[in-house]
């Protein structure tokens, strides 16, 4: 029973990282109907920036902030230079961002620490375990990350559904021409959403790089997992991404313990099953 709970908790912390990455992807897709394949690149780059800043300054939060800002800024540049003109052509956006991912992989491999494992350092006081009922000792950093993911998820949902900016964003998605006719600068809204989504990937990179080592090739892995998460949860839905991330995280952790060889295969089997039953994902809207 203890072990069962421990695996479940591990699965949920993994899910927290997956959720942070995938929420950015689903936000961008939900509002702009484009998929950015450079999302995994944002994850790894954010992790590296966070690693450098945290190592030099000794401040984890500064690292996380810089990681998110750097990737958000890169997102704006990519959006303005490469994507904006083709925003209605989702296939071309996907392919162009795949090209960006290809370049990103190669350039990050060329970094001095790019070909080995690195981990974002955390403050001493967070490296202690806490005692949890039923589970026993559990690293406090993992609990904090789980909490952070919850906060981000709730904040995002509230931001989109309850604030004025959020309603402008939703209006821009439904009918960007009408929205701009009411005096809203839709271009800036889209650029901001893209920046926010990218920044989430960068933040997730710092968080993920704290829990697990950052490795070359992880950009591809996390792109893939965030794709699976949004497919399972339903593209464009933040709560859907949370459900998808929880399912993917739990399945992969339990599979890792009980059927290690087939852990990845089982994770993807989950996606296949969801697709067979509900092609639009668990909370996805059917596109008209």
Partner 1 sequence: MSRSKGMPASLVEPPTFWSKWGWIGWVVVLALAFAFPYLVDRPRFWLPNIGVKSLWLGIIAMSLVFLNRYVGLLSLAQMTIAGIAAYGVGYFTVTLGLPGPVAIALALLAGTVAGFLVALIAARTKAIYFLMITLALGQVFYSWASQAIEVTNARRGLAPIPRTEPFTDISMFYWAVLACAVICFLLCRYVAKSSFGLALEGIRDSPERMAALGYRVNRYRIAAITFAAFIASVGGIILVFDRAQVDPDVVSLSSTLDILVVAVIGGIGSLGGVFVGAIILTLLDNFAQDFTDRYMTLTGIVFILVLLFAPAGIAGIGKQVKRAVDRARSKRSEADESPQQEPPAEQPTGEAITKGKQQ
Distance CA 88, CA 8 (A): 41
CB of 39 to partner 1, least distance (A): 12
Give whichever of 9 and 232 is closer to partner 1, judged by the CB atom. Answer: 232
Closest CA to 11 of 269, 245, 176: 245
Give whichever of 146 and 223 is closer to partner 1, judged by the CB atom. Answer: 223
CA 236 to chain centre: 13
Give whichever of 94 and 140 is closer to partner 1, judged by the CB atom. Answer: 94
Distance CA 234, CA 253 (A): 22
CB of 97 to partner 1, least distance (A): 9
CB of 37 to partner 1, least distance (A): 9
Helix (H, G, I), strand (E, B) or coil at 139: strand
Distance CA 224, CA 227 (A): 5
CB of 280 to partner 1, least distance (A): 9
Residue 138: is it exposed, middle or buried by C-beta count within 10 angstroms (0-12/13-18/19+)? middle
Give whichever of 88 and 137 is closer to partner 1, judged by the CB atom. Answer: 88
Which residues of this protein are in contact with partner 1, per CB under 8 A?
35, 82, 86, 89-92, 94-96, 98-100, 102-103, 105-107, 110, 220, 224, 227-228, 231, 235, 261-262, 264-265, 268-269, 271-272, 275-276, 279, 287-288
CB of 179 to partner 1, least distance (A): 22
CB of 82 to partner 1, least distance (A): 7
Helix 140-162 to helix 186-211 angle (10° resolution) is 170
Give whichever of 59 and 221 is closer to partner 1, judged by the CB atom. Answer: 221
Distance CA 18, CA 39 (A): 12
Whether residue 282 contacts residue 240, with contact meaning beta carbons closer than 8 Å, is answered with: yes
Give whichever of 210 and 252 is closer to partner 1, judged by the CB atom. Answer: 252
Whether residue 202 contacts residue 44, with contact meaning beta carbons closer than 8 Å, is answered with: no
CB of 205 to partner 1, least distance (A): 18
Whether residue 156 contacts residue 23, with contact meaning beta carbons closer than 8 Å, is answered with: yes
Give whichever of 176 and 210 is closer to partner 1, judged by the CB atom. Answer: 176
């Amino acid at each position: 029973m203890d072990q069962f709970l421990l695996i479940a908790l591990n699965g949920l912390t993994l899910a927290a990282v997956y959720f942070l990455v995938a929420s950015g992807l689903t936000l961008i897709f939900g509002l702009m109907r484009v998929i950015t394949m450079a999302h995994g690149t944002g994850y790894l780059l954010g992790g590296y920036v966070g690693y450098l800043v945290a190592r030099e300054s000794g401040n984890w939060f500064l690292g996380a902030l810089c990681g998110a800002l750097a990737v958000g800024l890169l997102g704006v540049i990519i959006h303005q230079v490469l994507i904006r003109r083709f925003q209605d052509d989702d296939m071309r956006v996907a392919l162009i961002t795949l090209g960006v991912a290809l370049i990103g992989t190669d350039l990050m491999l060329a970094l001095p620490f790019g070909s080995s494992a690195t981990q974002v350092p955390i403050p001493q006081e967070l490296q202690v375990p806490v005692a949890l009922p039923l589970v026993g000792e559990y690293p406090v950093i993992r609990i904090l990350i789980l909490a952070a993911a919850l906060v981000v998820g709730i904040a995002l949902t509230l931001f989109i559904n309850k604030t004025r900016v959020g309603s402008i964003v939703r209006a821009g998605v439904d009918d960007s021409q009408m929205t701009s006719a009411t005096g809203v600068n839709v271009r800036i809204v889209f650029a901001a959403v893209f920046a926010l989504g990218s920044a989430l990937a960068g933040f997730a990179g710092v968080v993920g790089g704290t829990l697990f080592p950052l490795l070359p090739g992880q950009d591809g892995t996390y792109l893939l997992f965030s794709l699976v998460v949004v497919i399972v949860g339903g593209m464009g839905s933040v709560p859907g991404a949370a459900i998808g991330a929880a399912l993917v995280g739990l399945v992969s952790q339990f599979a890792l313990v009980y059927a290690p060889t087939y852990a990845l295969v089982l994770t993807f089997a989950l996606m296949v099953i969801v697709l067979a039953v509900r092609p639009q994902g668990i909370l996805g809207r059917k596109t008209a």
